[in-house]
């Protein structure tokens, strides 16, 4: 045993127990992390404790003076990176470094949680030079846990280069309601067990890259066609139903030591929570998540500025208090409040006046510190200050680029296969119809003489039909309901119609008359390359649709 580290551990243990200690505690002290987290919280002022439970966003590419004030003056616990912060990834990495440098000057040298939403596919808040990937539903179509692991790993490696140490992924919402515009291709599919397996693999890939994964949106956003950003969705499902359906992935991931969960602004009136959003419900967060499922990690709210939360509570400050009291450990706000905004002053006043609430906030801060101590120290941890030269060399991740093309190829799904493969010679005069530049680029590579038509909801259908009338084969890129209207207008023409579906292929159940259809699950370039490679017969299609068409809702077997 090395004597000096051993003696230092004894000293630290003594300091934890000694109320008259004269030495400062530090995030970098050795010893048991639970003891260290508890000791730091006990040593903190109420203001410092409360600030550890806040995660704030800011507007603009550069850190605002206000967010720097929160870090400098308040010992802020975390920041959230949104799409409006990220168009220039080098600039973003510099910003993250500036934020962390300021945080590390604090009394306990506690780094910030730096979080974002980089699910893969459709939801990619950090843009710039990062990989645009096939997404979760493509992973569900391939069906391989190894694909989920590697997707999480390569997404995590890119985030780590930027200094981002927490990712609000995997999304383990089920594609239960086919009309869910919010979830759609963000889901791995409709099956709870398959989602749990793929979600756990994605989680472990993130951890291998040093990034803290966060499963969302607890208890499940997939059985509603409403968006909790604008309204509180109410899901008509009992506890028995969601226990055997939406909660299955959380039950599985908890057994795999999931570090964090995001609570969703969703009401389940047929449960004991009643009309209260799950994000503000102690029944959901304590009785179900903590006690019944056994989850011991962090609970983080979805953006508390969303109407799904504030409309229920009555105000942002009331929602913040209710969220912490209900069992959330971090409340996340997409914008930076003023230093003495009511959301701060009311929480601090409640801490000083209500011993029970103060104890709850201290418990939340302790959990935050435990997660930071566990995942943000050591060789595998994301560097606090990004290395800009490494960033320039490794973003996008070279191995990841090759993997995501392979994933896209494995996930292509033939929905209706009569005319495949379709060579340029057999296709005759081809009209490519769509809304994505990469669709036209890869379509022209596959069918060099093809004509192109960019449709828009603002264009008249008659103009479109004039172009379509001169074609022998129309390859139509379908991604939404607006496109479905244009596609259906082609039915009377008796042309060869091939649908190239991106995002969710749910609209294909309304077009049984088309000659052929394939599905990819994102508008990433790799997905278009893979899809056209299938159309012309360069590769086979082995993906399987991870949900059933022609069914409005998936019901778990009893």
Q: Which residues are catalytic?
A: 229, 302
Q: Pick from 483, 262, 173, 304: which is nearest to 313 by CA?
A: 304
| Neighbouring residues of 180: CB distance < 8 A, sequence distance ≥ 6 | 221, 222, 223, 224, 225
Half-sphere exposure of 87 toward its Cβ, with a 13 Å CA cutoff?
5
Environment class of residue 509 by beta-carbon count within 10 Å: exposed (0-12), middle (13-18) or buried (19+)? middle
Strand partners, 215: 261
Burial status of residue 294 (CB atoms within 10 A of its CB: 0-12, 13-18, 19 or more): exposed
112 alpha carbon, distance to own chain's centre = 19
Q: How far is Cα 337 from Cα 372, in angstroms, rounded to an integer?
A: 24
Helix (H) or strand (E) holding 329: none
- Asked if the peptide bond before residue 219 counts as cis, ω within 30 degrees of 0, the response is yes
String of DSSP letters for 267-296: BBTTSTTBTS-GGG-HIIIIIIIIIII---
Q: C-alpha dihedral over 285, 335, 181, 179, to 10 degrees?
A: 40
User: Can you point out the beta strands (E) in 289-421?
Assistant: 298-301, 331-333, 413-416
């Amino acid at each position: 045993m090395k004597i000096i580290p051993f003696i230092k551990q004894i000293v630290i243990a003594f300091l934890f127990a000694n109320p008259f200690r004269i030495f400062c505690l530090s995030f970098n002290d050795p010893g048991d992390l639970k003891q260290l987290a508890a000791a730091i919280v006990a040593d903190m002022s109420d203001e410092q404790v409360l600030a550890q439970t806040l995660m704030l966003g800011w507007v603009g590419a550069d850190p605002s003076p206000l967010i720097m004030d929160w870090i400098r003056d308040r010992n802020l616990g975390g920041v959230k990176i949104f799409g409006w912060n990220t168009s220039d990834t080098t600039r973003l990495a510099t910003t993250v470094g500036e934020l962390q440098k300021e945080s590390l000057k604090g009394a306990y040298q506690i780094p910030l949680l730096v979080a974002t939403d980089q699910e893969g596919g459709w939801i990619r808040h950090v843009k710039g030079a990062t990989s645009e990937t096939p997404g979760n539903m493509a992973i569900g179509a391939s069906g391989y846990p190894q694909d989920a692991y590697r997707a999480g790993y390569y997404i995590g490696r890119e985030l780590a280069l930027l200094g981002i140490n927490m990712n609000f992924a995997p999304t383990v919402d089920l594609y239960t309601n086919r009309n869910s515009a919010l979830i759609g291709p963000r889901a791995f599919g409709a099956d709870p067990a398959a989602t749990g397996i793929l979600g756990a693999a994605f989680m472990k890939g993130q951890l291998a890259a040093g990034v803290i994964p966060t499963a969302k949106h607890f208890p499940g956003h997939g059985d509603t066609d409403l968006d909790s950003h604008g309204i509180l969705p109410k899901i008509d499902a009992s506890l028995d139903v969601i226990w055997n359906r939406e909660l299955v992935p959380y039950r599985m991931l908890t057994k795999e030591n999931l570090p964090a969960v995001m609570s969703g602004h969703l009401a389940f009136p047929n449960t004991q929570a009643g009309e209260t959003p799950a994000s503000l419900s102690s029944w959901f967060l304590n009785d179900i998540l903590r006690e019944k499922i056994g989850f011991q990690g962090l609970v983080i709210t979805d953006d508390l500025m969303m109407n799904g939360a504030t409309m229920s509570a009555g105000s942002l400050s009331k929602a913040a208090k209710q969220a912490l009291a209900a069992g959330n450990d971090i409340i996340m706000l997409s914008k930076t409040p003023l230093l003495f905004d009511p959301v701060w002053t009311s929480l601090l006043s409640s801490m000083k006046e209500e011993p029970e609430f103060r104890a709850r906030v201290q418990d939340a801060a302790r959990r935050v510190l435990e997660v930071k101590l566990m995942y943000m120290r050591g060789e595998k941890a994301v560097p606090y200050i990004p290395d800009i030269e490494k960033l320039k060399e490794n973003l996008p991740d070279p191995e990841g680029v090759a993997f995501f093309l392979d994933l896209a190829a494995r996930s292509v799904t033939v929905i209706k296969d009569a005319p495949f493969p379709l060579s340029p010679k057999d296709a005759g005069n081809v009209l490519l119809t769509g809304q994505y530049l990469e669709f036209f680029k890869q379509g022209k590579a596959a069918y060099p003489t093809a004509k192109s038509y960019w449709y828009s909801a603002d264009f008249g259908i008659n103009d479109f039909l004039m172009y379509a009338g001169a074609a022998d084969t129309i390859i139509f890129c379908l991604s939404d309901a607006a496109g479905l209207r244009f596609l259906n207008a082609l039915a009377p023409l008796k042309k060869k119609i091939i649908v190239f579906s991106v995002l969710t292929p749910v609209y294909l159940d309304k077009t049984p008359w088309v000659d052929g259809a394939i599905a990819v699950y994102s508008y990433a370039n790799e997905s278009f390359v893979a899809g056209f490679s299938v159309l012309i017969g360069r590769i086979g299609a082995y993906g399987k649709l991870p949900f059933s068409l022609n069914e409005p809702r998936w019901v778990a077997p009893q």
